[in-house]
Amino acid sequence: MVARRLILPLTLLAFTAFHARAQNYSVTDTVTEYPNKGTFYHDLFEGRKTSSGEVFDQNKFTAAHWKIKLGTYVMVTNQRTGLQVIVKVNDRCPKRGVFDMSHRAAAAIGIRGMQPVTVRILPDGYEERWAAQELQFDSVRSRLYPGVANPPASPSTGAGTTPRATASGKGSGTDTGSYNLLLGNAASHSEVFTQTRRLPAAYRDHVTVEPLEGCDSLSISLTVHYTRQQAEQLARTLRNTFPKVRVTAEK
C-alpha cells in the first residue's frame, strides 16, 4: 500500500518539473517552439500605456505575454493556417499560456477569437524585418481571415453552394458577370475588426482589406462572386449596418 501511495505524488512531481521547464522562456533559446493560445486585445486598451511604457496601438505588431522578456522579438505561427508574423513583446498578459496580440498582428495570421499558436523567440537582428511588415501587410491584397476558399451561399438559396450565372447566360436571364460588395472604409485595422464583427457569421471569412491609394485609409470589401441580382439583394440586407455598401463588378 505504501508503494501505491507514492506513485501518484512522484508522477505529479515529475509532470510539474517538466511543465516548469517547458514554460522557462529564455531569450537565448531561439530554437524551441512554445505552444500558446493566440488571441487579440480589446479596443478598450487602445492608447493606454503598456508594461514597457510604450503606448498600445492596435496597428503595431506587438503582443503581451506573462513571462517573455519585454522588448523581445518573437515569431508567432498560427497552427491552423501556417501563417507567421513577427511581433515585439511590450506588455504583460496575466494568463499563462496566452499570447495576446494587437488586432493587426492577429489579422496578419488569421487569428479569430482564440486559436492555437506556437511562439519562437528570435535572435538579435530581426528589428528591421519586424518594421518591414508595415509595408508587407499593407501593400498586398490579402484576406483579413486567410485560408477560406469557398464563398458563402447566396441569400436567395440559403445553405449550399453559391449559384453563378452560366458562361453563356442561356436560361439564366441575368447578368453573366461576377459581383462583390464594397462595405466602406476604415481608418485602421482595429476599426476593420470592429466593423466586420457586425457582419453575419457566414460572411466574416470573406472580408478583403486593401489600402487606399494616396491616403492611410483601408477599404473593406466582401468577396462573394455573386450575380448582380444576388449581390444587390445582399446589399439591401446589409444596408442598415453598412449604409455606404455598394455592389462592385469583379475585375
Gap between the Cα atoms of 84 and 106, Å rounded: 10
Strand order in the sheet with 179-186: 142-143, 207-211, 218-226, 179-186, 246-249
Gap between the Cα atoms of 217 and 53, Å rounded: 28
| pLDDT confidence tier of residue 238, bands split at 50, 70 and 90 | very high
DSSP string, 231-247: HHHHHHHHTTT-TT-EE
Gap between the Cα atoms of 105 and 14, Å rounded: 36
Who has greater pLDDT, 28 or 163? 28
Looking at every residue in the chain, the average pLDDT score rounds to 77
**CATH of region 142-249:** 3.30.70.1070
pLDDT tens-digit map of 75-127: 999 998 888 999 999 999 988 899 999 988 988 888 878 899 999 999 888 89
Gap between the Cα atoms of 105 and 108, Å rounded: 5
Q: What is the pLDDT of residue 100?
A: 95
Q: What is the pLDDT of residue 156?
A: 56
Enumerate the domain spans of the chain.
Answer: 25-136, 142-249
The mean per-residue pLDDT over the stretch 231-240 comes to 93
pLDDT > 90 fraction of the chain, expressed in percent and rounded: 34
Q: What is the pLDDT of residue 65?
A: 96
The mean per-residue pLDDT over the stretch 194-215 comes to 78
Gap between the Cα atoms of 91 and 70, Å rounded: 7
Q: What is the pLDDT of residue 162?
A: 40
The segment with the largest mean pLDDT, out of 12-21, 137-146, 209-218, is: 209-218
Mean pLDDT is lowest, of 27-36, 62-71, 200-209, 231-240, for 200-209
Residue 15: pLDDT over 50:
no
Residue 186: pLDDT over 70:
yes
Is this structure's pTM higher than 0.75? no
The mean per-residue pLDDT over the stretch 12-16 comes to 41
Q: What is the pLDDT of residue 175?
A: 60
For the chain, what is the radius of gyration of the CA atoms?
A: 23
Gap between the Cα atoms of 37 and 100, Å rounded: 8
Gap between the Cα atoms of 59 and 73, Å rounded: 17
Instruction: Provide the 10 A C-beta neighbour count for residue 4.
Output: 7
Q: What homologous superfamily does CATH list for 25-136? A: RlpA-like domain (2.40.40.10)
Q: What is the pLDDT of residue 237?
A: 92
Contacts of 116 (CB under 8 A, 6+ apart): 35, 36, 37, 38, 78, 79, 80
Who has greater pLDDT, 68 or 152? 68
